[in-house]
């Protein structure tokens, strides 16, 4: 795959003012990057409108961290596809492990959201990953196959080409996360590719497969060079523009020198 997808989910960490400052710094950096890099930022809902204004003329894609599957209804506290369409986002992140863990989101819910996202013109960024118990019981592959087959059930091959998948092992995410071995990541990505191919045949080749979970300045090169990894989904290590810039600059150099 020619494109390399690099993005960050800010989770619940930045005010709109902080987000705007971050974006002001990121825009000039983004302009120096190879066209092979697809860059995205996923802020909190409250920052989407002002950030969309700032990002309108740039190459940085904007995403939302979640979305309901219905366009309207009695769902207190939820944000609908129609509301996000009004803002004009590009990507909607679905099924992050924190949503699954703290808000009981399951694969069937995520499947409804994936359909709603595609019908609304967004690229769903579907997060999958096994937890430590599943890994220890040696059922990582079974878990991931089940997540993929449920979350992506019923979507057409054409629609599949708009989907992004992020493999984020739950045990690797966040402060307490243990960084995954790049060889393991490559092995799992290869397996995910096989499942996607079984589901969507040649259309699956256009689904970018990102890796996330404790990606940082010292390990990102190992991951991006791992076979079957098409991008990185970064949390903490991209929450300051300085550290994100360091990663982006090195990636860009790698592309310029044909190492990637
Ligand atoms: P992290 O977060 O990079 O801070 O581990 C990754 C994620 O939750 O997507």
Count of other CB atoms within 10 angstroms of residue 234: 25
User: pLDDT of the chain along its 260 residues, tens only?
Assistant: 899 999 999 999 999 999 999 999 999 999 999 999 999 999 999 999 999 999 999 999 999 999 999 999 999 999 999 999 999 999 999 999 999 999 999 999 999 999 999 999 999 999 999 999 999 999 999 999 999 999 999 999 999 999 999 999 999 999 999 999 999 999 999 999 999 999 999 999 999 999 999 999 999 999 999 999 999 999 999 999 999 999 999 999 999 999 99
| Total domains present in the chain | 1
Determine the structural domain holding residue 76 and report its residue range: 4-256
DSSP state of 35: T
What CATH number does residue 51 fall under? 3.20.20.70
Rounded (10°) CA dihedral 22, 12, 184, 151: -120
pLDDT at 103: 96
Q: Which atom of ligand 1 is nearest to the CA of 127?
A: 9
Per the CB < 8 A criterion, the answer to whether 207 and 164 are in contact is yes
Nearest protein CA to atom 1 of ligand 1, as residue: 235
Alpha carbon distance 24, 29 (integer Å): 9
- Does the CB atom of residue 177 touch ligand 1 within 6 A? yes
List the catalytic residue out of 61, 68, 96, 228. 96
């Amino acid at each position: 795959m020619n494109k390399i997808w690099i993005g960050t989910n800010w989770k619940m960490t930045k005010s709109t003012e902080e987000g705007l400052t971050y974006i002001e710094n990121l825009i000039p950096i983004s302009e120096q990057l190879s066209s092979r890099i697809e860059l995205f930022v996923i802020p909190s809902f409250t920052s989407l409108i002002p950030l969309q204004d700032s990002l309108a003329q740039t190459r940085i894609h904007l995403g939302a961290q979640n979305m309901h599957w219905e366009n309207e209804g009695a769902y207190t506290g939820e944000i609908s596809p129609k509301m996000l369409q009004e803002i004009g986002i590009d990507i909607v992140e679905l099924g992050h492990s924190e949503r699954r863990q703290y808000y009981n989101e399951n694969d069937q819910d995520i499947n409804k959201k994936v359909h709603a996202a595609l019908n609304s013109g967004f690229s769903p960024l579907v997060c999958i990953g096994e937890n430590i118990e599943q890994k220890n019981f040696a059922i990582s592959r079974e878990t991931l196959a089940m997540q993929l087959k449920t979350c992506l059930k019923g979507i057409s091959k054409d629609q599949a080409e708009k989907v992004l998948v992020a493999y984020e092992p739950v045990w690797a995410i966040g402060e307490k996360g243990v960084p995954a071995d790049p060889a393991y990541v490559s092995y799992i990505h290869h397996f995910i590719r096989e499942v996607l191919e079984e589901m969507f045949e040649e259309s699956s080749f256009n689904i970018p497969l990102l890796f996330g979970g404790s990606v940082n300045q010292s390990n990102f090169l190992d991951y991006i060079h791992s076979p079957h990894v098409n991008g990185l989904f970064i949390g903490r290590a991209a929450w300051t523009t300085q550290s994100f810039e360091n990663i982006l600059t090195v990636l860009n150099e790698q592309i310029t020198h044909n190492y990637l």
